[in-house]
Amino acid sequence: MKPTDGRRRVVIEDVSPQIDAGRHPVCRIVGDSVSVGAAIFADGKDELTARLLYRHASDKHWRFTAMLSAGNDLWNGSFVVDKLGLWNFTILGWVDHFATWANDMKKRLAAQSRPELVDGIGAASRNATTGPDVESNAATQDIVLALRTGAAMVDQAAARAQGKDAKRMKSIAREMERLAKEPRDFYDDPLSEESLLLMARYPDLTHATRFEPELPVRVERMRARFSSWYELFPRSASSIPGQHGMLNDVERQLPEIAAMGFDVVYLPPIHPIGRAFRKGPNNSTIATPDAPGSPWAIGDKAAVACPPLGAEVAGDCGGHKSIHPQLGTFTDFDCLVNSAQSQGVEIALDIAFQCSPDHPWVTEHPEWFVIRPDGSIQFAENPPKKYQDIYPLNFESRDWRGLWDELYSVFEFWIERGVRVFRVDNPHTKALPFWEWCLSALKSKYPDVIFLAEAFTRPHVMYGLAKRGFTQSYTYFTWRNTKAELESYLEEITRPPISEFFQPNLWPNTPDILHRTLQEGGRPAFMHRVILAATLSSSYGIYGPAYELAENSPAEPTYGRSESEEYLHSEKYEIRQRDRNAPGSLVPLITALNKIRNANQALQSNESLCFHEIENPQLICYSKSTPVFENTILVVVNLDSFNEQIGWTNLDLDKLGLAANESFQVEDLLSGAIYTWRDRKNYVALRPGVQPAHIFRVIRLQ
Amino acid sequence: MKPTDGRRRVVIEDVSPQIDAGRHPVCRIVGDSVSVGAAIFADGKDELTARLLYRHASDKHWRFTAMLSAGNDLWNGSFVVDKLGLWNFTILGWVDHFATWANDMKKRLAAQSRPELVDGIGAASRNATTGPDVESNAATQDIVLALRTGAAMVDQAAARAQGKDAKRMKSIAREMERLAKEPRDFYDDPLSEESLLLMARYPDLTHATRFEPELPVRVERMRARFSSWYELFPRSASSIPGQHGMLNDVERQLPEIAAMGFDVVYLPPIHPIGRAFRKGPNNSTIATPDAPGSPWAIGDKAAVACPPLGAEVAGDCGGHKSIHPQLGTFTDFDCLVNSAQSQGVEIALDIAFQCSPDHPWVTEHPEWFVIRPDGSIQFAENPPKKYQDIYPLNFESRDWRGLWDELYSVFEFWIERGVRVFRVDNPHTKALPFWEWCLSALKSKYPDVIFLAEAFTRPHVMYGLAKRGFTQSYTYFTWRNTKAELESYLEEITRPPISEFFQPNLWPNTPDILHRTLQEGGRPAFMHRVILAATLSSSYGIYGPAYELAENSPAEPTYGRSESEEYLHSEKYEIRQRDRNAPGSLVPLITALNKIRNANQALQSNESLCFHEIENPQLICYSKSTPVFENTILVVVNLDSFNEQIGWTNLDLDKLGLAANESFQVEDLLSGAIYTWRDRKNYVALRPGVQPAHIFRVIRLQ
């Protein structure tokens, strides 16, 4: 089958950036310049012209900008995404006959003075004599014909133009024809800058090739890329010993948390906690009556006098659209959100789509669960282990549409109460097509919403979730502790193709993960791990105050394991009240880190992350910089929690914007010290617990 | 917008092999096993099953085969392409609830003997006592429910089955229900091999995910991959001095060429040669009246008494469907083709879609050319240079459909006369959409036709042509002479992704290219270059007898160049009669090379090409082997045309199917000598002109 128009000679291939042939949008931040590349070529030697078309979802028409040839059939162009939401781009390429003609004309004009260049075969065979007269005659004959060809092209282009341009172009065409009629020995260049510009303005696109499909770009706000997260349990936030904390206790802590420099305060689920099968301390299956239970076991409709102070939200009691009565009311919640906003902080909620047995959905929509042959609802299982406090949702439900709509409405419920950041629990246990639809629909309606995936799962699934709309993702960072592990992993997740859709958020601890490095290394380890997290990635988080206080006692290992990554007396099952400013607290260090992050733009993205050699395997060295090195940060971290480590760097000077042999200064933003360094090899010595790292600002001296 | 069925939980990504998301078919040879890979995953921990669907274009229905999990969400499968033509494949993936159930059942059964494994939360909170009775009761209770669940699944599957299978499955279901009703302390495994097989035969595909798009595979015959080409000019083939050779002279040479081991005899264009602007010797623009002209200037309608011996092909005189009268008649041609076939050789024709001024198309279809303002036809130009013996076709013609049909018909004309191999001249000067349509249409109708692209052009265009249907392509091999150049380039073109659509055909010389390496190195260089070509690639060719006779005199450099890659007295413009068996001829070496290629399967494909270290930059070492090393060939070549070179190998033993420290024999297939080698490091010494290379067959001793 022939194509509709076989005259479209231009081929457009290898268009970037794209994911899976346009199946998923690449991710950018508002204000970014999106660099587009492609291979654009055709048969023969004609000049090509290419145009980058782009538009926001709300634009009626395409905007366009010229692409430039970079040689070897590669072309580049770019456009600025100045608005949140979904954009599309594509490429138009065509044979530019006028540009070809203009190039050829230049060569013909040049040949007038060098007639030997003209291969006058025709003349030679028709006429035994050769000589300058005949040859220069051939050169000028070419020009006459070329002028006529050119005039015809300009006329055609004039028909595509309007108004003054059309008039001007017609007169240019007439002038060229006139020139062609006057016999001359020598022609000047008939092409002015003006005529070239006019012709470029009205190209003949009749046989232009358009790349398909249109490629999507999802544009989000700066916080999607650059964010500093602080997790705390509201129920532990009371200053009164033994008292169940409430949302207004969190509100009281906001100034302190904001002063530390965090911009996202993330709360584990604030919904009612199921009564059935509540866990006791240290995940015990035996729970005392006053055990607070796990916030991730969402339920408890019947056990709550509903509502405590009158119906705040009509008909809404228990479940994902409720607040645990011991945490407070919706009024308290609104105050918290507003107070946070006024202090430049956002509240992030934890959305965990699972239900304890007393969740409202169990009675209202049993079809959203798996029903066993005896009529009971299937609880979570990893046979023979049972998790009877959790009923997983059934994404193969006949009423999958109703289920999807309800889950969507949970997000929308909190969005409309002012929440714009969500941390999603175990997204890899909910169907990926659901997330693809839900996150895309939410982002279309609320383009400033951010979703963090707690996707501790296999790489393909983790990346699959990121492609499907999760703005940020937890990573394997907690299990990457050695230099080799860190370098390899961070290179993978900060470079294309992964970086086109995956924004890492590095957590040195979570309520579920107390890594052996921290268990064994104590406070010094907590220091270097948070320095790594805060400088390797533009987004990071800590679970506090456990982190500031360097709590590192693990629970007993569970059956079949020799070690545990669980916290002893985990706050998941108990209230744990602490003073984050206790002696030895890492609050000052963390405050300094956030200050450095906020003051140094290089640390606010990951694309420039580059590792430098340093000849001690316990020392890791890396840098980030802004595009023309206005701000360059160089970090050296001692990964040893116990011993001082020394070593010599072998810096990749190009990546620091420095020249060979150049002297420069490095200002340690943690200690304030300034050193003069030179060239690639410079000495460092770092002591755990005292000075575990340098965070240098590079200062050029010339 | 929700999807049609949101219950399709499985995701299928990263499917290989594919080119540009299925835009172009990957290429395989009939009999190949196509290895398919994909990432297949879903939410949660359920078992997945995946099926590879495949079919030939002529199949009514899909065939299928199981895919196997390779871990980390990667799956593999394969299918054999046992027929020429276009195939398609895709993947079906689904959540296999029964497999999940069966795995869970195994664990439940095992827990019967280890009740402590059962986390009987329910029991613990309802009942203060715990103990073996209660726990084992929990384990068996699970099994009872599971049996009922399983029975329901088997019943559903039985409804998808027929006949004996359906009956058997129903009775299996009844048996499971019966078991569930009998109270027991201990259950045996209710699942037989038979029931598992039956269930696997009737999966529930209601919510299966199907990968899109279907991915194409073009399957061609063995000669598409493994071919040895010999190019000669028919007009030089006469044994009578000074006489213009004819097709029957080529026929007379066939036994000799076949004896050398070649299977494709390629002739420059055999069509009439244009009279206007004919070139003289050494590309001179001054041609004597008896100059034979360039075979690529196709035309000459009027100058030929048409036809010489009566109308052989009615109405056909001059142009691409004619034979140059000085070469012979269509009867001669048919004899040549048949004679070749009986000797196991194929005739390849050169198709050059350009016209000299007296080509029939010029008068019959002037609209297929570019017309200048003075009404004359635009000749080829690179201003100010003119090539007035060539009129290029205009692929932007209004009658592009007519042009495409005519060009297609040229191929079809010769195909119907028995030609199945075409070398296409300068395909990169003809529109790529044309090739895409033409080659695809021809291959659909004649799946055994092979096209070789003479695409000496930029990489993107060269690869773009290969993607669009050219079976084989010339390469940059002539300009890759050093070890580094050869290793780098050959690795690029013999590995995916390039190898999925690009089959290299390595030519150490062509009528257009006499490289400086051959000019300076003389006969020794000709030896090592043809050894490289014949062993690095499964397809190679030489232009003879110039090659066997190591002709290496270049023409004078043309204006602006300091050296020339043109032959002196190029056969493009003159008749050049030679005796390929003259003293010093390389016929014996070339014969030996082709014999080695035919006898060693490892050399009949490129996918196993692997370079080994050898510590002398003038020595290059590489191997090829069949999949389980039944046939392993190891080559060492001295790239120095003047000096002996010695060195030690550092063999990658894995790639040779050898173990560390293993002793093995290497039989030099050129000299007959046998050496015993051991382990990685072995000594070689090679002298140019005498023994420029080893072509070893590796023989294991254990």
Q: Looking at chain B, how many residues does it have?
A: 702
Contact B374 A458 (CB under 8 A): no
More confident residue, B370 or A561: B370
Q: How far apart are CA B430 and CA B394, in angstroms?
A: 9
Among A118-132, A542-556, B44-58, whose mean pLDDT is lowest?
A118-132
Map tokens 């080119």 to a residue.
B19
CB contact under 8 A, A9 and B458: no
HEC letters along B599-643? HCHHHHCCCCCEEEEECCCCEEEEEEECCCCCCEEEEEEECCCCC
pLDDT of residue B132: 44
pLDDT at A132 over 50: no
Across the interface, do A117 and B384 touch by the CB < 8 Å criterion?
Answer: yes
Q: What is the pLDDT of residue A183?
A: 77
CA–CA distance, A668 with B528 (Å, rounded to integer): 61
Distance from CA of B659 to the nearest CA of A (A): 30
Is A686 strand, coil or helix?
strand
Q: Please report, for residues A611, B315, B317, the alpha-carbon distance to residue B307 in angstroms, rounded to integers and kept in the order given.
A: 76, 9, 7
A467/chain B closest Cα distance in angstroms: 11
Residue with tokens 């009615």: B314
A148: nearest CA partner in chain B? B373
Q: Are A328 and A251 in contact (CB under 8 A)?
A: no
User: Best interface-test mutation with B: which of A4, A5, A7 has the largest number of B CBs within 10 A?
Assistant: A7
Query: Which amino acid appears at position A147 of this protein?
Result: L
- Assess whether pLDDT exceeds 60 at residue A249: yes
Rounded Cα distance, A295 and A233, in Å: 9
Q: Do B43 and A95 touch (CB under 8 A)?
A: no
Tokens standing for residue A256: 């302190």
Sign for the pseudo-dihedral over CA of A559, A564, A567, A569:
positive
| Per-residue pLDDT tens digits for B150-164 | 999 999 999 999 999
Q: What is the pLDDT of residues B564-580, one digit of tens each?
A: 999 999 999 999 999 99
- Decide if pLDDT at B137 tops 80: no
Structure tokens at A172: 């240019």
Q: Which of the residue ranges A116-120, A343-347, B515-519 would you say has the lowest mean pLDDT?
A: A116-120
Omega cis (within 30) before B269: no
Shortest Cα distance from A606 to chain B (angstroms)?
25
Instruction: Tell me the count of A-B CB pairs closer than 8 A.
Output: 215
Structure tokens at B246: 């004819």
> CB distance A118–B1 less than 8 Å?
no
d(CA A593, CA A158): 62
Can you give the three-state secondary structure of B520-566, one letter per residue?
A: HHHHHHHHHHHHHHHHHCCEEEEECCCCCCCCCCECCCCCCCCCCCC
At B462, phi and psi to the nearest 5? -60, -45
Which chain A residues have a beta carbon less than 8 Å from that of B444?
none
| CB pair distance less than 8 Å for A145 and B374 | yes
Q: What is the CA radius of gyration of chain B?
A: 33
The nearest CA of chain B is from the CA of A428 a distance in Å of 5
State pLDDT tens for residues B239-259. Answer: 999 999 999 999 999 999 999
**Catalytic site includes residue B448:** no
A133 contact partners, CB below 8 Å, separation of at least 6: none
State the complex-level ipTM.
Answer: 0.93
Structure tokens at B70: 């390779």
3-state secondary structure of B690: coil
The residue of A2, A10, A43, A211 whose CB has the most chain B CBs within 10 angstroms, and thus the best one to mutate to test that interface, is A43
Q: How confident is the model at residue A312 (pLDDT cuts 50, 70, 90)?
A: very low
The stretch A23-44 carries a mean pLDDT of 98
CB atoms inside a 10 Å sphere around CB A156: 15
Contact yes or no for B142 and A383 at CB 8 A: yes
Chain A hits for B212, CB-CB cut-off 8 Å, are none
Distance CA A462, CA A466 (A): 7
CB B34 within 8 A of CB B89: yes
Closest-CA residue of chain B to A104: B383
Whether B589 has a pLDDT exceeding 80, the answer reads yes
What pLDDT, on the 0 to 100 scale, is given for residue B118?
A: 59
- In the predicted structure, residue B289 carries a pLDDT above the cut 90: no
Give pLDDT, residue B301: 54
Give the active site residues of A.
425, 454
Q: Would the CB atoms of B124 and A285 count as touching at under 8 Å?
A: yes
- SS3 at position A80: strand
Residue B447 tokens read as 């799946």
A364-419 pLDDT tens trace: 999 999 999 889 999 988 887 888 888 999 999 999 999 999 999 999 999 999 99
| Distance from C-alpha of B11 to C-alpha of A434, rounded to nearest angstrom | 12
Query: Is residue B528 pLDDT above 70, yes or no?
Result: yes
Residue of B nearest to A288 (CA): B125
On average, the pLDDT of chain A sits at 92
DSSP label at residue B60? S
A3·B433 Cβ contact <8 A? yes
Write the Ramachandran bin of B44: left for phi over 0, alpha for psi from -120 to 50, otherwise beta: left
- Which positions in chain B touch A384 (Cβ < 8 Å)? 107-108, 110-111, 117-119, 139, 142
Q: Residue range B64-87: average pLDDT? A: 98
Out of B39, B384, B397, name the one closest to residue A107 (CB): B384
For position B557, what pLDDT does the model report?
83
What is the least distance, in Å, from the CA of B521 to any CA of chain A?
32
A45/B9 touch (CB, cutoff 8 Å), yes or no:
no
pLDDT value at residue B117: 62
The position carrying tokens 């160049």 is: B561
For range B503-525, the mean pLDDT: 97
At residue A598, the 3 state secondary structure works out as helix
* Integer Cα distance of A544 and A259 in angstroms: 14
More confident residue, B559 or B108: B108
As a whole number, mean pLDDT of residues A511-533 equals 97
SS3 of A42, please? coil
Tens digit of each residue's pLDDT (9 = 90 or more) over A432-471:
999 999 999 999 999 999 999 999 999 999 999 999 999 9
Cβ separation B458–A139 shorter than 8 A: no
Predicted local confidence at residue B279, as pLDDT: 80
Name the residue facing A108 among B384, B437, B460 (closest C-beta): B384
Q: Do residue B461 and residue A120 have CB atoms under 8 angstroms apart?
A: no
Mean pLDDT, residues A500-522 taken together: 97
Cβ contacts of A286 on chain B, cutoff 8 Å: 124-125
State the average pLDDT over residues A135-155.
84
Q: Is A385–B277 a contact, with Cβ atoms under 8 angstroms apart?
A: no
- The sign of the dihedral angle between the CA atoms of B522, B524, B529, B531 is positive
Q: 């590095």: which residue's tokens?
A: A506
Alpha helices in A128-223 (DSSP H): 132-160, 163-181, 193-201
* Chain A: closest CA distance from residue B162 (Å): 26
Q: Residue ranges of the alpha helices (H) in A343-482? A: 360-364, 400-415, 432-445, 459-467
Tokens 């030895």 belong to residue: A584
Amino acid symbol at A262: F
**CA distances to B311, B328, B409, B412, B563 from B416, in Å:** 18, 18, 10, 6, 43
Question: What pLDDT is attached to residue B111?
Answer: 82
- Please list every residue in chain B whose beta carbon sits closer than 8 Å to the beta carbon of residue A122: 277, 386, 388
Rounded Cα distance between A463 and B679, Å, is 43
CB B4 within 8 A of CB B479: no
Other beta carbons within 10 Å of A244: 17
Is B116 among the catalytic positions?
A: no
Does residue B191 register a pLDDT over 90?
A: no
* Mean pLDDT of the residues in chain B: 92
Residue B304 confidence (pLDDT) above 80 = no
Candidate list B346, B454, B500, B574, residue with the active-site label = B454
Residue B286's closest chain A neighbor by CA?
A125
Q: List, in sequence order, every beta strand (DSSP E) within B408-471.
A: 421-424, 450-453
Instruction: Examine the pLDDT at B434 and tell me if it is beyond 60.
Output: yes
What are the CA-CA distances from residue A315 to residues A96, A326, A359, A407 (Å)? 67, 19, 14, 17
Annotated catalytic residue, options B135, B425, B548, B551: B425
CB nearest to B464's CB, from A41, A381, A460: A41
* pLDDT tier for residue A300 given thresholds of 50, 70 and 90: low
Which residues of chain A have a CB within 8 Å of the CB of B125? 276-277, 285-287
The per-residue pLDDT for range A535-573, each reduced to its tens digit, is 999 999 999 999 999 999 999 887 777 789 999 999 999
Q: Flag whether pLDDT at B226 surpasses 70.
A: yes
Does position A305 have pLDDT exceeding 50, yes or no? no
The answer to whether B237 and B579 are in contact (CB under 8 A) is no
Q: Which long-range contacts (CB under 8 A, 24 or more apart) does B622-629 make?
A: B622/B490, B622/B535, B622/B536, B623/B655, B623/B656, B623/B698, B624/B535, B625/B655, B625/B656, B625/B657, B625/B698, B626/B601, B626/B602, B628/B657, B629/B656, B629/B657, B629/B698
DSSP label at residue A371: B
Of B6, B41, B45, the CB nearest to A460: B41
User: What pLDDT sits at residue A119?
Assistant: 54
Q: Residue A351 pLDDT more than 50?
A: yes
pLDDT tens digits, one per residue of B109-125: 888 877 666 554 433 33
Strand partners, B623: B610, B634
* Helix extents (H) in A537-600: 587-599
